[in-house]
């Protein structure tokens, strides 16, 4: 899907939630502000902040340079999850209602709750997101999300026009979203423009200067995402005086008359073929470490990539922000939204429990221990904790791979009864081409451990995690509401698993269905 709009200073408007990139006693790092007035793109911006120590009766209000502000990744009316609110599950969906004096007011089901910004996590699904309805006969086609309901469910419209309410676990986010850049079989880059009866309408650039752009529809599985997406940081495969080797640029636009991608580099804007560009390892919103250290950025402090600043990258650090060369920055192994497990275990967080990284911990009300060097992680059944990165292990699952697992089980379970029959497994696996029908039936018998003629979600997850950390498999099953019976498990590996998701099987099935 297209890279999300970065936390940045672009298009800051009245009513936006923002952070100040500097820091002092009046506006501590991590305090959320609200834009009350803008004076043009290059002018100062009037902002309201909570004030010293979050004293609500005496908020800080004044003008700040737009260059020193960046937008929060959640804004009014966005759908979110909230951690650490009594009676509210992290899996519940609400929407941001209003700024609450440094906190965020969220409408959750029929209640209005208030939570600190570090407890807010943006939902995968948003209004007009493209999704697959897992228990629907047209599930291989694209549907779209409509409105948020007071019950906490969301309305989705099927390709045949059916409108119904769904729980989040009944939907899987489509790989291609509106405005994503995609590639045709011939390598042409186009823009996903709309959804038409479950198929995706793509606009491709004109073949000549006088020709109009053409439009074609595709099944989701027929499309490949372009490696280059809007707002992405990229490098050029070549180099010259204007774009020296190693310079990083930001993708701005796809030219419909020339089929070239416009990129802004430090010395100017130029157009390139998609094959001439490479995504940079650092992208807006990524968490990083600095290879060096000093009084301003002590060892272990975690920064967030904000924007390009000439030939350097501006990074928000716990004390302030600085621009630095890309080769001086290291990516954290865990990013916002990633699933992680704890290297240790306790009665509250059993081994295999999968947590979700929410944000950087900039300050702690109970002291400074871990401030700037730790992450907020939400643990199901327990809540939000401050965790140091070296105490975490990748669960080998991110949002995309979890959606792929949900979607894959839904593809096999064609009658929607929550089980996979032998015929359902044979129908899908034989379509992939790697196994014959007889081999598929043998596979089913080996997976059907209780011999009841149906594969449960637990048995399916066992298959997916056959070569993975079984503890993580159990944790993922529980997180998705897939309760596994107690079975012997293997000792988890000491080393962190690779970053590529759940392995070849899931990638193959995901590609087959367009996820």
Q: Residue 402 above 60 pLDDT? A: yes
Q: Residue 479 above 60 pLDDT? A: no
Q: Residue 2 above 50 pLDDT? A: no
Q: Which two tokens stand for residue 494?
A: 């000491």
Q: Residue 233 above 90 pLDDT? A: yes
Contacts 24+ apart (CB under 8 A), 61-66: 61/36, 64/20, 66/9, 66/12, 66/38, 66/41, 66/42
Neighbours of 69 (CB within 10 A): 21
76-97 average pLDDT score: 90
Q: Residue 302 above 90 pLDDT? A: yes
- Assess contact for 16 and 68: CB atoms under 8 A: no
Q: How confident is the model at residue 505 (pLDDT cuts 50, 70, 90)?
A: very low
More confident residue, 124 or 200: 200
145-170 average pLDDT score: 85
More confident residue, 425 or 355: 355
Give the residues across from 385 on adjacent strands.
Answer: 377
Q: Residue 250 above 80 pLDDT? A: yes
| Cα end-to-end span (Å), the chain | 10
Q: What pLDDT shows up at residue 306?
A: 94
Q: Residue 9 above 80 pLDDT? A: no
More confident residue, 494 or 133: 133
Nearest to 457 by CA among 440, 435, 479, 441: 479
Give the highest mean pLDDT range of 137-146, 157-166, 282-291, 373-382. Answer: 282-291
Q: Map tokens 């643990």 to a residue.
A: 379
The CATH code for residues 399-513 is: 1.10.238.10
Q: What pLDDT shows up at residue 203?
A: 95
Proportion of the chain above pLDDT 90, given as a percent? 40
Domain ranges of the chain: 17-71, 287-331, 339-394, 399-513
Pick from 50-59, 434-443, 448-457: least confident:
50-59
Q: What pLDDT shows up at residue 498?
A: 36
What's the rounded Cα separation, in Å, for the pair 399 and 340?
Answer: 12
Proportion of the chain above pLDDT 70, given as a percent? 76
Q: How confident is the model at residue 348 (pLDDT cuts 50, 70, 90)?
A: confident
Q: How confident is the model at residue 136 (pLDDT cuts 50, 70, 90)?
A: confident
- Assess contact for 50 and 59: CB atoms under 8 A: yes
Q: How confident is the model at residue 167 (pLDDT cuts 50, 70, 90)?
A: confident
Describe the crossing of helices 457-464 and 504-513 by its angle, rounded to 10 degrees: 120
List, for residues 54-70, the tens digit of each pLDDT value. Answer: 444 558 888 998 888 99
What's the rounded Cα separation, in Å, for the pair 393 and 351?
Answer: 11
What's the rounded Cα separation, in Å, for the pair 439 and 422?
Answer: 12
Give the highest mean pLDDT range of 159-168, 316-325, 420-429. Answer: 316-325
How would you class 449 by CB atoms within 10 Å of its CB: exposed for 0-12, middle for 13-18, buried for 19 or more?
middle
Q: What pLDDT shows up at residue 211?
A: 75
Q: Residue 446 above 90 pLDDT? A: no
More confident residue, 403 or 39: 39
Q: Which two tokens stand for residue 467?
A: 């070569």
Residue 180, CB-side half-sphere exposure with 13 Å CA sphere: 22
List Cα–Cα distances, 511 to 174, 415, 435, 464, 479, in angstroms.
12, 22, 17, 15, 24
What does the mean pLDDT of the chain come to? 80
Q: What pLDDT shows up at residue 275?
A: 94
Give the residues across from 164 on adjacent strands.
Answer: 156
DSSP string, 90-129: TT--EEEEEEEBTEEEEEETTEEEEE-GGGEEE-S--TT-
Q: Residue 367 above 80 pLDDT? A: no
Q: Residue 288 above 50 pLDDT? A: yes
Neighbours of 430 (CB within 10 A): 16
Pairing of the two strands 420-421 and 454-455:
antiparallel
Q: How confident is the model at residue 395 (pLDDT cuts 50, 70, 90)?
A: confident
Q: What is the DSSP letter of 414?
A: T
DSSP string, 39-75: --TTSEEEEEE--GGG-TTS-EEEEEEGGGEEE-S--
Give the highest mean pLDDT range of 1-5, 89-93, 200-204, 477-481. Answer: 200-204
Q: Residue 370 above 60 pLDDT? A: yes
Label residues 225-243 b or e (16+ Cβ within 10 Å = b). bbebbbbbbbbbeeeeeeb
Q: Residue 331 above 90 pLDDT? A: yes
Q: How confident is the model at residue 507 (pLDDT cuts 50, 70, 90)?
A: very low
What's the rounded Cα separation, in Å, for the pair 229 and 251?
Answer: 7
List Cα–Cα distances, 508 to 99, 108, 184, 339, 428, in angstroms.
44, 37, 19, 22, 12
The CATH code for residues 339-394 is: 2.30.30
What's the rounded Cα separation, in Å, for the pair 320 and 299?
Answer: 15
Q: What pLDDT shows up at residue 352?
A: 74
């Amino acid at each position: 899907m297209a890279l999300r709009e970065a936390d940045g200073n672009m298009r800051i408007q009245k009513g936006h939630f923002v952070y100040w990139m500097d820091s002092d006693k009046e506006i501590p790092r991590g305090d959320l502000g609200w834009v009350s007035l803008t004076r043009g793109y290059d002018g100062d911006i009037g902002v309201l902040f909570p004030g010293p120590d979050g004293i609500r009766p005496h908020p800080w209000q004044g003008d700040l340079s737009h260059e020193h502000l960046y937008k929060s990744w959640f804004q009014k009316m966005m759908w979110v999850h909230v951690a650490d609110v009594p009676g509210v599950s992290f899996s519940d969906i609400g929407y941001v209602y209003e700024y609450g004096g440094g906190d965020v007011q969220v409408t959750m089901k029929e209640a209005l709750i208030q939570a600190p910004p570090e407890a807010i996590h943006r939902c995968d699904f948003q209004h007009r997101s493209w999704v697959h309805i897992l228990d629907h006969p047209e599930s291989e086609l694209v549907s779209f999300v409509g409105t948020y309901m007071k019950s906490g469910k969301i309305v989705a419209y099927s390709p045949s026009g059916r409108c119904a309410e769904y729980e989040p676990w009944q939907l899987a986010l489509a790989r291609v979203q509106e405005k994503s850049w995609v590639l045709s079989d011939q390598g042409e880059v186009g823009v996903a423009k709309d959804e038409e009866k479950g198929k995706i309408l793509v606009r491709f650039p004109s073949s000549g200067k006088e020709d109009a752009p053409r439009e074609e529809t595709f099944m989701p599985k027929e499309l490949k995402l372009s490696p280059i997406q809007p707002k992405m940081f990229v490098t050029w495969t070549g180099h010259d005086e204007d774009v020296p080797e190693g310079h990083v640029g930001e993708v701005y636009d796809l030219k419909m008359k020339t089929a070239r991608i416009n990129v802004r580099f430090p010395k100017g804007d130029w157009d390139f073929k998609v094959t001439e560009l490479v995504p940079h390892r650092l992208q807006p919103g990524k968490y990083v470490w600095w290879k060096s250290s000093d009084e301003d950025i002590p060892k272990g402090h975690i920064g967030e990539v904000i924007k390009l600043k000439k030939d350097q990258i501006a990074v928000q650090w716990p004390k302030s922000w600085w621009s630095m060369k890309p080769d001086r920055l290291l990516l954290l192994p865990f990013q916002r939204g990633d699933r992680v497990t704890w290297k240790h275990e306790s009665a509250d967080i059993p081994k295999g429990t999968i947590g979700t990284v929410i944000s950087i911990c900039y300050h702690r009300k109970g002291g400074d221990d871990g401030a700037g060097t730790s992450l907020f992680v939400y643990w199901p059944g327990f809540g939000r904790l401050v965790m140091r990165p070296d105490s975490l292990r990748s669960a080998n699952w991110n949002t995309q791979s979890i959606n792929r697992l949900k979607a894959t089980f839904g593809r096999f379970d064609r009658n929607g009864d929550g089980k996979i029959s032998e015929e359902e497994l044979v129908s899908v696996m034989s379509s992939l081409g790697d196994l014959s029908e007889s081999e598929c039936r043998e596979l089913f018998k080996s997976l059907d451990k209780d011999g009841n003629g149906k594969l449960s979600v637990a048995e399916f997850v066992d298959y997916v995690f056959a070569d993975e950390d079984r503890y993580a498999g159990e944790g993922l099953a529980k997180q998705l509401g897939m309760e596994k019976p107690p079975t012997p498990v293997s000792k988890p590996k000491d080393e962190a698993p690779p970053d590529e998701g759940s392995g070849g099987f899931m990638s193959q099935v995901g590609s087959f269905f367009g996820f």
